[in-house]
């Protein structure tokens, strides 16, 4: 089976000189949910941004067989749905409906069809009732759902979620697990929350100082790198 995403030898240096990625090799196969673990600053976000063409480093990236170049970039951005860590930055349009239709309209979809796609995506994420609300008035969990809806409306093949449990309460986290397991797309998810990772992940990779130190199951990786939560007591 061909991988949906194949990355080889990816290196990236921020303009200020920080070496954030030092040769990363990675593959994502259909149906997988890969968890990216690793300390703060180990390069997970930087890596994720490359998969959507938002950063451009050295090395090879292929998404659904397409090379990361100017011609296929719009198609790659449609296929790879990126859910950012800060929902306030992702939800920049004045109302939920406008935000969810933003992606489809950019793809050149007719307004009526964009509305239909948006309604469908809001339905899928359980946010239909909020379509006229301003994002500012949503709770953290609702914001996350709308952000996911905004990406689903573009009909992606792959979802990338950067620390999606940030500022969610435990019920919110459980709802998110239910939502993500119900979505058929292949996923890449960065998180520090091992319980969450176990619940949704089929596989994990561990980032250390800009490269991938190990691959394995979530449980393996977590115990090998001391990433288990504090013992109860």
Ligand X SMILES: Nc1ncnc2c1ncn2[C@@H]1O[C@H](COP(=O)(O)OP(=O)(O)O)[C@@H](O)[C@H]1O
Q: Which residue is nearest to Mg ion (CB)?
A: 45
List of residues contacting ligand X (CB under 6 A):
14, 16, 18, 20, 38, 40-46
Question: To the nearest whole angstrom, how small is the minimum distance from the Cβ of residue 21 to Mg ion?
Answer: 13
Question: To the nearest whole angstrom, how small is the minimum distance from the Cβ of residue 28 to ligand X?
Answer: 18
Among 42, 45, 125, 186, binds Mg ion (CB under 5 A): 45
Tokens found for residue 74: 């719009």
Q: Is there binding between residue 42 and Mg ion (CB under 5 A)?
A: no
Q: Cα Rg for the chain, rounded, in angstroms?
A: 17
Tokens found for residue 151: 């990406």
How many CB atoms are closer than 10 A to CB 180? 19
**Measuring CA to CA, which residue among 69, 16, 21, 74 is closest to residue 45?**
21
With left for phi above 0 and alpha for psi between -120 and 50, is residue 228 left, alpha or beta? beta
Select 45 or 191, whichever has its Cβ closest to Mg ion.
45
Of 37-45, 61-69, 95-103, 212-220: span binding Mg ion (CB under 5 A): 37-45
Tokens found for residue 56: 């451009």
Question: To the nearest whole angstrom, how small is the minimum distance from the Cβ of residue 25 to Mg ion?
Answer: 20
What torsion do the CA atoms of 213, 162, 148, 1 make, to the nearest 10 degrees? -20
List of residues contacting other proteins (CB under 8 A):
49, 52, 54, 74, 77-78, 82, 84, 86, 88-90, 92-95, 97-98, 101-103, 105-107, 111, 132-137, 150-151, 154
* Residues 187 and 197 sit within 8 Å (Cβ to Cβ): no
Q: CA end-to-end span of the chain, whole Å?
A: 46
Q: What, of Mg ion, other proteins, ligand X, none, does residue 101 touch, CB below 5 to 8 Å by kind? A: other proteins
Question: To the nearest whole angstrom, how small is the minimum distance from the Cβ of residue 129 to other proteins?
Answer: 13
Question: To the nearest whole angstrom, how small is the minimum distance from the Cβ of residue 11 to ligand X?
Answer: 13
């Amino acid at each position: 089976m061909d991988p949906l995403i194949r990355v080889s030898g990816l290196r990236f240096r921020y303009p200020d000189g920080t070496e954030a990625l030092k040769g990363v090799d990675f593959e994502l196969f259909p149906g997988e949910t890969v968890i990216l673990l690793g300390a703060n600053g180990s390069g997970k976000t930087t890596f994720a941004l490359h998969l959507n063409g938002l950063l451009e480093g050295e090395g090879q990236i292929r998404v659904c067989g397409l090379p990361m170049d100017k011609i296929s970039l719009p198609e790659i951005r449609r296929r790879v749905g990126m859910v950012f860590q800060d929902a306030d930055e992702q939800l920049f349009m004045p109302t939920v409906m406008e935000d969810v239709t933003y992606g489809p309209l950019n793809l050149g979809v007719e307004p009526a069809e964009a509305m239909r796609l948006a309604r469908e995506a809001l339905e899928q994420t359980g946010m239909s009732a909020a379509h006229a609300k301003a994002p500012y008035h949503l709770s953290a969990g609702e914001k996350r759902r709308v952000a996911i809806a905004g990406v689903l409306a573009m009909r992606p093949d792959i979802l990338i979620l950067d620390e999606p449990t940030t500022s969610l309460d435990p019920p919110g986290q459980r709802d998110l697990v239910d939502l993500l397991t119900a979505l058929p797309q292949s996923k890449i998810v960065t998180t520090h929350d091992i319980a969450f990772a176990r619940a949704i992940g089929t596989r994990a990779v561990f980032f250390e100082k800009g490269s991938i130190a190990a691959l394995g199951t979530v449980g393996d990786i977590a115990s090998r790198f001391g990433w288990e939560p504090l013992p109860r007591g």
